Amino acid sequence: MSGAKPGLTHIGASGEAHMVDVSDKAETVRIATAEGHVKMASETLALIVQGNAKKGDVIGTARLAGIMAAKRTADLIPLCHPLMLTKVTVEIAEDAALPGLRVTATAKLSGKTGVEMEALTAVSVACLTIYDMAKAADKAMEIGGIRLLEKSGGKSGDFRHPEAR
């Protein structure tokens, strides 16, 4: 391979993976929001919402797991910078149409690199935690729809997913 691939910032001139140098970037407020869902049987959803799952508070535990995961993203994704997040929120809402739970996470900081991966990691781990805590009742649950909804700040500017609600 000759030269860096356009648009792939983590690929060097020889095609090797590397961590991006952000030292010359300006510090800006950066915010990213991601979403995902866990589809499940209606009975499982009722069990969770009523607080009757064997392992306890599924939604509260998943929210905390998502926040903790956002803070550890650099430990999980090899080329992510360790970030000093100033805010992480994880919201989990019942969606009878799935049926299941929708997870939305927002990560924020003032810094030199974006927080998209932190928001996506928070959603992913929150969804996995929901599955783990409710699998005794429903092993057929399905995790899906994990995507970046929007981001702001930084050189690349703002982004909003075309299908975002």
User: Which of 21, 24, 75, 132 does the annotation list as catalytic?
Assistant: 132
Can 57 be counted among the known catalytic residues?
no
**Helix extents (H) in 23-159:** 42-49, 58-71, 73-76, 116-134
Dist CA 33 CA 26 (whole Å): 21
What's phi and psi for 71, nearest 5 deg? -70, -20
Sign of CA dihedral 108, 74, 36, 38: negative
What residues contact 8, with CB distance under 8 A and at least 6 apart?
none
> What positions carry a catalytic annotation?
132
